[in-house]
Amino acid sequence: MLILVINCGSSSAKYQLFDIKKNKSVAKGIVEKIGEKGAVCKDHYQAIGIIRDRLLRDRKKILKDINELKGIGHRVVHGGEEFNKAVFIDKKVLRSIESASELAPLHNPPSLAGIKACKRYFSGIPQVAVFDTAFHQTMPAHSYIYGIPFDFYKKYKIRRYGFHGTSHWFVAGEAARILKKPLRKLKIITVHLGNGCSMTAVLKGKSVDTSMGFTPLEGLIMGTRSGDIDPAIVTFLMEKNKLSAEKVAEILNKKSGLLGISGLSNDMRDIICGMKKGNKRAKLAFDIFVYKIKKYIGAYQAVMGGADAVVLTGGIGENVPVLKNRLSNELRSALGAKTKFMIVPTNEELLIARDTYGLIK
Ligand code: AMP
């Protein structure tokens, strides 16, 4: 049974075809640089057309006719407060994703474009939306309400939403399987470290707190994002350097984090290479990166009254074993011997395919 997963970013459309009964990826690819100079297509609509043609023309002939597809699962970054699980996409759901675009102006519009294109190019195939925010909808109000006037929550829905939900949910489930215990009996801290970085306290299988907030800017130090800072820095910079709100947002999103501290790169591989060559600012960036993770582990351990496992995942979490060793050594006395440190590869696409199949079934 074939399920197609589509993940539309601002200038790319990734796809992966799953034989879901075998839990196996059978084809995958990406259409990149959408709308850029010299690109193969001008928008996401055309990109989905390219994906359909590629799948039908693949020499392995896995998909001979689009009607062999049983469903299409879309990654959608923001579901606002409305969605706590995957849903079939109908007109009402499309409107809700559209209205959540205000909260994720860079992410939701490409997903919407991808969904609309799939309606045309894969006509009649059921489509499902899987939201990055859905897993975190179990957070209690004391985790998601900010210490600002409550009216801003009521008027503009300013609150913590959290992201990377599919990844946190996937690796928490995998960790439970490895530990041979049901999720409902576990306290797990999941640490997703990729281009974006976030952590979640998963208590009895539910997200009770997470480090990203109203936007994916809050929390840990990331490749180019600042993570937590004193909000007064924003107004100070605006006044001192006569910067616009847009400019400050650009600094915090694109020029901060590992790149901003090291002055070298946003890529952890370059930071590690720089450290090995004795670059002091690369070492400082790495130390701050680790320190922030340690602080959040301590906080989430306190929130859940302990932790059975700390699970590292994402491009950095999966490929930098020294990070796991350092965290487990430095936190051993604080956490005790019971807490396991694990590396678990994430697979958001597989989970999206499973969620899609779960609804269709
Ligand atoms: P992701 O967003 O999960 O694909 O992660 C991307 C990030 O993972 C890159 O920016 C790198 O910093 C990091 N990364 C990927 N491979 C490695 C590696 N072998 N060693 C260290 N960092 C890596």
Determine the Cα–Cα distance for residues 116 and 44; give it in Å rounded to an integer: 9
What residue type is assigned to position 266 of the chain? Answer: N
Give the per-residue pLDDT at 25.
95
Q: Assess whether the C-beta atom of 126 lies below 6 angstroms from ligand 1.
A: no
Give the per-residue pLDDT at 40.
84
What confidence tens digit (pLDDT) does each residue in 22-49 have? 999 999 999 998 988 878 899 999 999 9
| pLDDT value at 58 more than 90 | no
Q: Out of 289, 316, 322, give the residue to mutate to test ligand 1, the one with the largest number of ligand atoms within 8 Å of its CB.
A: 316
CA-CA-CA-CA torsion sign (112, 87, 347, 62): negative
Catalytic residues: 132
* C-alpha torsion angle, residues 197, 202, 208, 213 (rounded to 10): 10
Give the per-residue pLDDT at 10.
86
Among protein residues, the one with the nearest Cα to ligand 1's atom 8 is 315
Per-residue pLDDT averaged across 131-141, rounded? 97
Q: Quote the mean pLDDT of the chain.
A: 95
Give the per-residue pLDDT at 37.
82
Centroid of ligand 1 to alpha carbon of 318 (angstroms):
8
Per-residue pLDDT averaged across 58-81, rounded? 92
Q: Which fold has domain 181-343?
A: Nucleotidyltransferase; domain 5 (3.30.420)
Determine the Cα–Cα distance for residues 103 and 111; give it in Å rounded to an integer: 14
Centroid of ligand 1 to alpha carbon of 270 (angstroms):
10
Q: Specify the CATH number of the domain 2-131.
A: 3.30.420.40
Atom of ligand 1 nearest to the CA of 223: 10
Per-residue pLDDT averaged across 108-121, rounded? 96
| pLDDT value at 286 more than 90 | yes
Structure tokens at 265: 């790169």
Cβ contact 237:248 at 8 Å: yes
Buried b (16+ CB within 10 A) or exposed e, 200-214: bbbbebbbbbbbbbb
Determine the Cα–Cα distance for residues 336 and 41; give it in Å rounded to an integer: 54
Atom of ligand 1 nearest to the CA of 268: 12
Give SS3 for 49. Answer: helix
How much of the chain exceeds pLDDT 90, in percent? 91
Per-residue pLDDT averaged across 78-91, rounded? 95
Could you give the residue range(s) of every CATH 3.30.420.40 domain in the chain?
2-131, 181-343
What confidence tens digit (pLDDT) does each residue in 151-197 have? 999 999 999 999 999 999 999 999 999 999 999 999 999 999 998 99
Per-residue pLDDT averaged across 188-208, rounded? 97
Helix%, strand%, coil% for the chain, nearest 5? 45, 20, 35
What confidence tens digit (pLDDT) does each residue in 59-69 have? 888 888 999 99
Residue in the block written with tokens 């992201």: 163
pTM of the entire predicted model: 0.94
Per-residue pLDDT averaged across 328-350, rounded? 94
Could you please report the per-residue DSSP string of 270-293? HHHHHHHTT-HHHHHHHHHHHHHH
Give the per-residue pLDDT at 129.
98
Centroid of ligand 1 to alpha carbon of 321 (angstroms):
12
Cβ contact 289:258 at 8 Å: yes
Centroid of ligand 1 to alpha carbon of 194 (angstroms):
6
Per-residue pLDDT averaged across 107-114, rounded? 94
Cβ contact 344:7 at 8 Å: no
| pLDDT value at 246 more than 90 | yes
Residue in the block written with tokens 């491009």: 315
What confidence tens digit (pLDDT) does each residue in 120-133 have? 999 999 999 999 99
Give the per-residue pLDDT at 60.
84
